[in-house]
Structure 1
């Protein structure tokens, strides 16, 4: 296979893109690109991605999934995370207004909640964020908004605190998590690598006393040695590094996966690059990404 360069080189070459090579540009992969480039010190290229996101911010402050698709609006969280990281490295922040408007939208947006249900193992009364409007709060979008609000300096906000409680509530009894269900009709569900890594990342700077979190970190370390796709592998790496855990196995897996992402879309390239940076022993702790108030 022709060596086209490292993943971060490829991300820098085309910082705005989609889920697949040649696909329509989308907010999620472009936000991951901006975050990876900012952390790599490629500020000019990161701003190209940040500007693309800002140009597609709606009047209400939200950011949709595609340029011509304003809903669903959960990518707003990733836009906030990207803008905060770019501004953190810039002597002249440029996304403060975009971030403020996006945060205002995020704080007003609420996932659907329900009454306690004996057939469902998680607390349906906790409010987080959803994939689509007027649907139940799920784990991954809630974790993204937790990361975003912390990056924007709102770690202590009531919405952030409730969302952290939701993430802890959605951990499986055996450790790890999935899309956000725990026990259904008395049956404990299986954990998935990607959401386990995302949740561990979002909870890394919390003082979690629930024993399920310790089991989640143990599960994450075990997952690092299992075969999986590049996206799942990247989120496992991000979760491990944020919690200061051993990343040698996952870094070796990321190294072996590099050839697989050379011809992939921006989504996998950017996440691989971000995870590779995070597992660099010389890199700053991932939990500090974007920390500070706007």
Structure 2
């Protein structure tokens, strides 16, 4: 499957999830979801989607922003602010959304998870003081939301901010001794935990351009050895994105994507966020990282000015 046919297929699948108002549903025929809309914007942008629809979707996403800049899974649940980084990326290069993007950037720079000094008898081995970002307010920072926030802040030119630099150190501290990442633990009661492809891909995408290759080489080798067996969209999508960020595209990437898409005939259509991840991962293999998410690692402009 070439990039042209993938764009066509991806656009068609995503447009079936676009609601009349311009937002995206979690599934075909479903209801609006904040994260699905942000992922839909990112994937449809990479597929060359309609500028008018994308602009409409971005503006509708702004309606979900709370006064402090966060975007939540649902407005009545402000603690679930992990979609904020997705919205920052979805608003990238949209002048009319710049003020909303600034508010979200400020929110991330001033927010972190729950952190505490590690006790000598603690069951887990990672440095629990290093700050990243959590899934939910007042909980510990974990790998995927931290990687997403790093990508969002770097996309807006804040890669050298102290918060981002500390988050990079946090991700490196959570790397497993033999390579790879899981949700965010390394050793528990002295036993090394297993890596997970999706978390490894997200971490590698977030770290690209910030650390030397040698620092993450065991993780790259782990992911490259695992990718051929992956058949689910989130694991495969993040794995392809992570490998593309380090120019390690597997030669059979197109075949892997086709196999994953074909699984929908057996298991049903994928959720929008999962489908978008798969589309972005597949396109990243052919576009050299020049897609939303990965293009953040090569940001060359000035930091986004944060107005009061």
Normalised to the residue count of structure 2, the TM-score between the two structures is 0.85
Whether contact under 8 Å (2:241, 2:294) holds in the other structure is: no
Q: 1:76-115 counterparts in 2 under 5 A?
A: 76-84=84-92, 86-87=93-94, 93-115=95-117
Deviates more, 1:34-43 or 1:138-147: 34-43
Return closer, same or farther for 1:254/1:127 CA change in 2, 3 Å cut-off. same
- Aligned length, in residue pairs: 283
- Cα deviation per residue 1:186-232 (whole Å; 9 max; x = unaligned)? 00001111101000100111223764x11000011011111331111
Q: 2:188 aligns with which of 184, 192, 202?
A: 184
Matches within 5 A, 1:246-261: 246-261=249-264
Deviation at 1:13, TM superposition (A): 4.0
Task: Give the CA deviation at 1:277.
Answer: 1.5
Q: Give deviations 1:242-292, integer Å, cap 9, x for gaps.
A: 111123233321122223458333222222221221112576376324834
What do you get for the CA RMSD once the two structures are aligned? 2.1
Residue aligning to 2:119: 117
State the match for 1:131 in structure 2: 135
Pairing 1:170–2:174 present = yes
Structure-1 residue corresponding to 2:24 = 17
After superposition, the Cα gap between the structure-2 partners of 1:209 and 1:276, relative to the gap in structure 1 and judged at 3 Å, is closer
> Does structure 2 retain, via aligned residues, the 8 Å contact 1:25–1:67?
no
| Residue among 127, 143, 146 paired with 1:142 | 146
Greater relative contact order: 1 or 2 (C-alpha under 8 angstroms, separation 6 or more)? 1
Moved over 6 A (4+): none
1:226 aligns with 2:232: no
Distance 1:122 1:18 in 2: 37
- 1:168·1:210 contact (CA, 8 Å) conserved in 2? no
Gaps of 5+ in 2: 1-7
Residues 158-187 of structure 1 deviation map (CA, whole Å, 9 limit, x = unaligned): 000000110111000010010000001100
> In structure 2, which of residues 265, 289, 295 is the aligned counterpart of residue 288 of structure 1?
295
Query: Does 2:63 correspond to 1:55?
Result: yes
- Match of residue 3 from structure 2: none
Distance 1:151 1:266 in 2: 23
Change (3 A) 1:249 1:161: same
Alpha-carbon distance between aligned partners in 1 of 2:57 and 2:75, rounded to the nearest angstrom: 13
Q: State how far apart, in whole Å, the 1-side matches of 2:52 and 2:296 are.
A: 19
Structure 1 unpaired stretches of 5+: 88-92
Please name the residue that 2:277 is paired with.
Answer: 271
The residue aligned with 1:236 is 239
Aligned to 2:83: 75
User: Which residue, 36, 46, 53 being the options, matches 2:43?
Assistant: 36
